[in-house]
Amino acid sequence: MSGGAVAATAAEQQDIRSPHNDGGATEAKGVGTSKWTPYVLLTPGMLWLAIFFVVPTIVLLATSLYTGSLDTGYSFEFPGNWSTYSAVITYLPQFARSFVFAGLATVFCLALAYPLAYFIAFRSGRWKATLLVLVIAPFFTSFLIRTLAWKTILADDGFVVTVMNTLHITDLMSHMCLGSLCLTESDRVLNTPLAVILGLTYNFLPFMVLPLYASLDRMDPRLVEAAQDLYSSPWTALRKVTWPLSLPGVVAGTLLTFIPAAGDYINAELLGTTKVSMIGNVIQDQFFVVTDYPTASALSFVLMLAILVLVFLYVRRAGTEELV
Amino acid sequence: MSTTAGADLRIIDVTKRFGDFVAVDDLTLTIPAGSFFALLGPSGCGKTTTLRMVAGLEEPTAGSILIGDEDVTWAKPYKRPVNTVFQSYALFPHLDVYENVAFGLRRRGIKDVKKVVEDMLALTELTGLAKRKPTQLSGGQQQRVALARALINQPQVLLLDEPLGALDLKLRRQMQLELKRIQTEVGLTFVHVTHDQEEAMTMADTIAVMNAGRVEQLGAPADLYENPRTTFVANFLGQSNFFDGSITERGADGYATVDVKGNHVRLPMGRVHTEGSSVHVGVRPEKLRVQFRDGAEVREHENRLEVVVTDSSFIGVSTQYLVDTPWAQELTVFAQNTHRDERLAPGAPAIITWAPDHSFALDAAQDVEAGVEIDEDAATPDPVGVGS
């Protein structure tokens, strides 16, 4: 959604610029010095957001308060059918699972992406462009197909699980439990939380790598030399200079990973079972199987709010405004 | 700030190769404790590479580096008693001035830094800017933060990599004097890398002129300027006129006589830097005295040459004359504007004279043009990126 807004704004910007340049009056006045220019530039994006975000959100909120069913028709009766929100209590485990899975996937993504982004930014030399293309390369295949491929990768008789079983990793992980939910079963990975988390990690990894790369690439590598010159070991230099300077990328990357991962249902659908379903699966079922639109809308709305609150707390804590 | 003396820095037979390129070629230097030492040379001469090897940011291909009696050749940069003022400063953009300056102390686990940091901010005239971020500082202020951040650790050797390159001329002059003041005050060994000959001469006690990975000549600024041993040094530090000639007599009176196209030029033996007879005789433009030929007063023993004025340009503090020798070689003469002779117009017959002690003779095999016109000011990097 926001991608579309950016594209529209960029296109508008082109339109504004070209007449000025053709007129040759840019020297004296400069592009965008008119006080209306910012508003003109904002308009397409704002319109886009108003039509495709604000209006649907209001419709969603309204739908969640409807009474009736698909057969009898829906209607709104004041003060609205708030009982739909009781579904939030019913599906609390799925909510919790969504955030735990998404959180773990985000942590794994960060752990995998940071060294990779660091390498691409500082050490890849002439391979930089190639490596960046490789990071994006998976996008050339459908999300669905890539996720299905993990079914094969994590198959019970597949190489990965066989090795994990031999090394007793699967067994070890089957003892890592949160309540009744354990990371794996004693001899299999598919249809367990681990499979879903791995799928999420895999699918959202590029969204972590790219912002991290962008913020690390912007960093002056001489700052690391300066840190080492001032008695920092490489590890301390990483902790005290590189990491704080890459925080904007870390924040952007974790948000870009966590938010879609929390609402995802494909990975849980294809790599998990109903026992490990996430809130996305519940909403999908409510819409398309049960066709209980009000409940589905209520769950969607609560999911959105919950993510907003989490993001707000997270960004406040990360203190991004402190970073230049 | 206590005045701890630094330590001798010894660079012994150090070579650094990058692939086929020899950046530093068998360099040996001893930099005495407490001195202000400049490595001067054009870009690519190996001066920055030398500095980086001392800092530990590059490893030498061969040779060793000693600070005091300690061999630090293979020591990690964070384990050396050396700090660097980086070109365009490399200040930490996420930390304020105070934390930038305190960085080294904190890394060494020193808890009570307040007093030391405040003293250092006072020394570098940064008091009151402690809470600013580097991006909120002017170029000169950033430069002082970079200096304070390094100095506060009281390193045995302080390395300065083109520290003033990003400043404008006026500020650079001011900082040159300030750096010199601070060095005298703290008494540390400063090693200063620069391509700016004036900067090197203003600040350093000793200058090593580097070219193509080697030291061309080492000495006090005045010695280098007055008595260069190679054409590179003669041209890189200031300007020089050269005549081709051959030594006809190495006299017992301590003077040599050189035949320059039939003219006899005398100079002290101590200023003849070749064993051969074919030489370039050099003399600085400001050492030449130009007079109208009729009625010119020429002192005894002075070297003289009849010339024709081809151009004169008034530069304010001096006048620059271009004159042609009988064999049509152009020479440059700088004359103080104390008594300008209006007759010295283009075409005027003139005579130039200079004291024998002001010439020097170099091996004719050397390139007369070496070190000429290497003006890097345009290529000096700006401080962009410091705060981004």
Q: Identify whether A34 is part of a domain.
A: yes
Do A54 and A197 lie in one domain? The reply is no
Q: Identify whether A170 is part of a domain.
A: no
Chain B contact set for A220 (CB, 8 A): 90, 385-386, 388
pLDDT in tens, B217-238: 999 999 999 999 999 999 999 8
The alpha carbon of residue B103 is apart from the nearest alpha carbon of chain A, in Å, by: 7
Do A16 and A139 lie in one domain? The reply is no
Around Cβ B250, how many Cβ atoms within 10 Å? 12
Nearest Cα to Cα of residue B18 among B77, B60, B72:
B60
Q: What string of DSSP letters covers B236-263?
A: HSS--EEEEEEEEEE-TTSEEEEEETTE
Q: Identify whether A198 is part of a domain.
A: yes
pLDDT in tens, A149-183: 999 999 998 999 999 999 999 889 988 887 778 88
* Stated pTM of the model: 0.79
Do A134 and A248 lie in one domain? The reply is yes
| Contact between chains at B153 and A227 (C-beta distance less than 8 A) | no
Task: Output DSSP code: residue B154.
Answer: -
Q: Average pLDDT in the A246-257 region?
A: 94
| Contact between chains at B78 and A226 (C-beta distance less than 8 A) | no
CB-based contact (8 Å) between B108 and chain A? yes
Query: In whole angstroms, how far apart are CA B348 and each of B288, B293, B294, B298, B375?
Result: 17, 8, 10, 18, 33
Residue type, A317: R
Above 0.85 for ipTM, yes or no?
A: no
Q: Which residues contact A134 (CB under 8 A, 6 or more apart)?
A: none
pLDDT in tens, A59-109: 999 999 988 877 888 887 778 788 889 888 999 999 999 999 999 999 999
pLDDT score of A35: 83
pLDDT score of A33: 65
Q: Average pLDDT in the A238-257 region?
A: 94
Closest-CA residue of A relative to B54 is: A229
pLDDT score of A31: 54
SS3 at position A28 = helix
Chain B contact set for A231 (CB, 8 A): 78, 104, 107-108, 153
CB-based contact (8 Å) between B133 and chain A? yes
Chain B contact set for A233 (CB, 8 A): 76, 78
Q: Identify whether A224 is part of a domain.
A: yes
| Distance of alpha carbon B14 from alpha carbon B62, whole angstroms | 5
Q: In the predicted model, what is the mean pLDDT of chain B? A: 88
Domains in chain B with CATH codes: 9-226 (3.40.50.300), 239-363 (2.40.50.140)
CB-based contact (8 Å) between A232 and chain B? yes
Angle at which helices A92-118 and A193-217 cross, to 10°: 40
| Domain that includes residue A236, residue range | 88-154+190-322
Q: Which residues contact A39 (CB under 8 A, 6 or more apart)?
A: none
Q: Where are the beta strands (DSSP E) in chain A?
A: 67-69, 73-75, 177-178, 181-182
Q: Identify whether A173 is part of a domain.
A: no
Do A7 and A147 lie in one domain? The reply is no
Do A114 and A198 lie in one domain? The reply is yes
Residue type, A149: A
Q: Average pLDDT in the B11-39 region?
A: 93
CB-based contact (8 Å) between A229 and chain B? yes
Q: Identify whether A163 is part of a domain.
A: no
Output A316 or B58, whichever has higher pLDDT. B58
pLDDT score of B349: 93
The pairing of strands B82-85 and B157-161 is parallel
pLDDT score of B5: 55
Out of A49, A64, A79, a domain closes at A64
Q: Which of A215, A220, A225, A246 to mutate to test the interface with B (most CBs of B within 10 A)?
A: A220
CB-based contact (8 Å) between A224 and chain B? no
Q: Which of A222, A231, A242 to mutate to test the interface with B (most CBs of B within 10 A)?
A: A231
How far apart, in Å, do the first and last CA atoms of chain B sit? 33
Do A199 and A123 lie in one domain? The reply is yes
Nearest Cα to Cα of residue A177 among A192, A155, A198:
A192
Do A95 and A235 lie in one domain? The reply is yes
What band does B6 get if pLDDT is binned at 50, 70 and 90? low
CB-based contact (8 Å) between B96 and chain A? no
pLDDT score of A319: 66
| Distance of alpha carbon B179 from alpha carbon B162, whole angstroms | 13
Residue type, B190: F
CB-based contact (8 Å) between B90 and chain A? yes
What band does A16 get if pLDDT is binned at 50, 70 and 90? very low
Cis before A211 (ω within 30): no
Structural domains counted in chain A? 2
Do A199 and A293 lie in one domain? The reply is yes
What band does B376 get if pLDDT is binned at 50, 70 and 90? very low
| Contact between chains at B78 and A231 (C-beta distance less than 8 A) | yes
State both tokens at B74: 């293979």
Q: Identify whether A16 is part of a domain.
A: yes
The alpha carbon of residue B58 is apart from the nearest alpha carbon of chain A, in Å, by: 11
CB-based contact (8 Å) between A250 and chain B? no
Residue B384 reports pLDDT greater than 50? no
Residue B260 reports pLDDT greater than 60? yes
| Distance of alpha carbon B119 from alpha carbon A264, whole angstroms | 57
Q: Average pLDDT in the B18-24 region?
A: 92
pLDDT in tens, B179-226: 888 888 888 899 999 999 888 998 999 999 999 999 999 999 999 999
Q: Return the exposure string of B197-221: e unless at least 16 CB atoms fall within 10 Å of the residue's CB, then b.
A: bebbbbbbebbbbbbbbbbbbbbeb
CB-based contact (8 Å) between B77 and chain A? yes
Chain B contact set for A323 (CB, 8 A): 94
Do A43 and A128 lie in one domain? The reply is no
| Contact between chains at A229 and B83 (C-beta distance less than 8 A) | yes
Do A92 and A59 lie in one domain? The reply is no
The CATH number linked to A312 is 1.10.3720.10
| Distance of alpha carbon A95 from alpha carbon A280, whole angstroms | 9
pLDDT score of B104: 95
Residue A237 reports pLDDT greater than 90? yes
Nearest Cα to Cα of residue B144 among B124, B174, B161, B129:
B124
Do A52 and A116 lie in one domain? The reply is no
Do A136 and A47 lie in one domain? The reply is no
pLDDT in tens, B75-123: 999 999 999 999 889 999 999 999 999 999 999 999 899 999 999 999 8
Q: Identify whether A180 is part of a domain.
A: no
3-state helix, strand, coil in chain A (%, to 5): 75, 5, 20
State both tokens at B177: 């004097």
Q: In the predicted model, what is the mean pLDDT of chain A? A: 86
pLDDT score of B145: 95
Query: In whole angstroms, how far apart are CA B378 and each of B122, B200, B262, B370, B381?
Result: 34, 18, 42, 20, 8
